Structures are given as C-alpha cells and as structure tokens.
Amino acid sequence: MTIASAEYTGSYIHLDKCPKADRPEYAFIGRSNVGKSSLINMLTGRKNLAKTSSSPGKTQTINYFIINDAWYLVDLPGYGFAKAARSQRQQWERMIESYIRKRENLICLFVLIDSRLSPQKNDLDFVNELGEWQIPFTIVFTKTDKNTQSETAGNIKSFMEKMKSHWEFLPQYFQTSAVKKTGRIPILELIEEYNIRFGAIASKNP
C-alpha cells in the first residue's frame, strides 16, 4: 500500500469524542518507550507524525491519524512505566478498556513488544487481558536491530511459549526495526487486506 496522505486528526480522552466510526481503524499499543512512535512514523513514511519521546509518560490521550483518507491509525498511550501514580494507571485502564472493548470499527490491535527483552510481566498481563476480552490482536516485536538475530528469535520464542500456557491459538506476529526500516511492508499489506474485507462488508450493509 502506498501512503499518499497521513494527517493528524486529534487527541481524545473519551471514546464518545473520538471521530465518527465510519472507517476501518487500527490501533497501536505497548509499554512506553517500546518504539511505538518510531513504528508509526516508519509505517506512514512521515518523520514526525507521531511524537517520539526520550522521556516516558507522555500525555495520556488517544491520538488519531487519517491515512489516505480511507482508514484511521490510532496511537494509544503506553503502559507500564513504573513511576506512574496509581490514579494515573487507573485512568489509563478505564480509557483503554473502554476504547478497546467498545470501538466498533477497530479491526485490529497491534501490540508492540520490545524484542530486546525476555518476556515481561506487564506485556503478558496485557495480552492475557485481551484474551479475556476476546479482542483480536497482532504482535509486533520492535527494535530487532538491537540484538543478534538469534537473541531476538530466542526472546520471541520465549514470549510465545509463555503465551501458550494461556492460549490455545497464538497470534500472528511481525518483526520490525525503525532504524533499519524493516517490517513495514507486511504490516501495511495486512492492513490493506483488512481494508478490502471491511469495504466488502460495508457495501453489503450500507
């Protein structure tokens, strides 16, 4: 898929203030500092579309971008920074749960996992929660340029092994590096495939 246009639409705190659910939507989530902004910028081919941060704890908003005037890309606030106050965490949980469970045009949630690390409890807790909620998702292992291929493969394998104890079926996953610009095309192809399916369903139910 060629990205002809990518524009920031707005930032929201409440689901009912989000743009009209009239286009297929894809959301990205992960621990803060996982490389989410860098991935969004790589996917859209825009240097500063999503704001990259060196300090965790950016504003906790749901950020919308419209791509090719056809679909929404959603940047969800990151989880898992240890210093966040309990009240801030609870607010995050309420906002995210409501968005993920109720947003009717959300086609796929991309959960970003840092490929440099062995399985982390908060990532596993989060994907297991998605299972409880029956939310389809895809995993993206980020920063694959940082370790050797075999270290990255080992971390991915361990993460999948951990998931197996909770899951009957394992989700699809991708590997990316924003530094080497790898992993972009397969993700955009998946989104394109979903967009075509969504279009077919929408035209059957106008």
Q: What angle do CA 82, 94, 100 make, to 5 degrees?
A: 105
Least distance to ligand GDP, CB of residue 58, Å: 7
Instruction: Show the site string, 80-119: x = touches ligand GDP by CB under 6 A, - = not.
Output: ----------------------------------------
- Scanning residues 162 to 191, which ones bind ligand GDP (CB under 6 A)? 177-179
Q: Which amino acid is at 102?
A: K
Rounded distance, CA 155 to CA 70, Å? 35
Binds ligand GDP (CB under 6 A): choice among 129, 145, 151, 192: 145
Residue nearer to ligand GDP on the CB measure, 38 or 120: 38
Tokens encoding 200: 């077919």
Q: Are strands 25-30 and 71-75 parallel, antiparallel or unpaired?
A: parallel
- The first and second tokens of residue 120, run together, are 């982390």
The footprint of ligand GDP on this chain (CB under 6 A) covers a number of residues equal to 19
Q: Looking at 7-15, 28-36, 83-91, 149-157, which segment touches ligand GDP (CB under 6 A)? A: 28-36
Residue 32 binds ligand GDP, judged by CB under 6 A = yes
Q: Indicate whether 53 belongs to the interface with ligand GDP (CB under 6 A).
A: yes
Per DSSP, the residues of 16-68 read GGSPPS-S-EEEEEEBTTSSHHHHHHHHHT-TTSSPP-SSS-----EEEEEET
Q: Does 155 bind ligand GDP (CB under 6 A)?
A: no
User: Does the protein bind ligand GDP through residue 33 (CB under 6 A)?
Assistant: yes
Q: Is residue 143 near ligand GDP by the rule CB under 6 A?
A: yes
Closer to ligand GDP by Cβ: residue 40 or 100: 40
Nearer to ligand GDP, 47 or 204 (CB): 47
Q: Where does residue 11 rank: exposed (0-12), middle (13-18), buried (19+ CB within 10 A)?
A: middle
* CA dihedral of residues 34, 55, 75, 95 (deg, nearest 10): 100
* Residue with Cβ nearer ligand GDP (39 or 195): 39
What number of other Cβ atoms are within 10 A of residue 180's Cβ? 11
CB of 179 to ligand GDP, least distance (A): 4
Q: Which residues bind ligand GDP (CB under 6 A)?
A: 30, 32-38, 52-54, 78, 142-143, 145-146, 177-179
